[in-house]
Amino acid sequence: MLSVFQSVLIVLCTIAVSVVFLAVLRRAWPVTRRTEHNDIIGWQISVLGIRYAVILAFMLWNVRNNFQIARVTTEMEANYLVDLYRVASGLQPSESTDPSFMP
């Protein structure tokens, strides 16, 4: 697993490479030549953006759902442990401490 420093370094390097690529692209392909291409493929990029947003929303919903299931499961296990402790407190001392005791 990466440390926090390594993770931040990867993010900063990715941003730096993206900015350099954008600067090179703008110098090699001027805005006047890009305008007609933007008009042609602009709607396609918006459709892809909407699809990405919907997929991301479903993924976040799934993560939230799994988190809630894990929380409910943890609460149930804690309640079972409390119930077991309360039941064991009602047993006689020899029965509550002997692990081989089976009723």
List, for residues 66-86, the tens digit of each pLDDT value.
Answer: 999 999 999 999 999 999 888
* 21 and 44, same domain (yes or no): no
Q: What whole-number distance in Å separates Cα of residue 57 and Cα of residue 47?
A: 15
Number of domains in the chain: 2
Q: What is the pTM of this model?
A: 0.50
Q: What whole-number distance in Å separates Cα of residue 72 and Cα of residue 59?
A: 20
Let me know if residue 98 belongs to a domain.
no
* 80 and 53, same domain (yes or no): yes
* 50 and 88, same domain (yes or no): yes
* 19 and 56, same domain (yes or no): no
Q: Which domain holds residue 16?
A: 1-30
Sign of the C-alpha dihedral computed for residues 75, 80, 83 and 89 taken in this order: negative
Q: Is the pLDDT of residue 103 over 70?
A: no
Mean pLDDT (whole number) for 29-36:
81
Considering the chain, what percentage of its residues have pLDDT values greater than 90?
61
Let me know if residue 99 belongs to a domain.
no
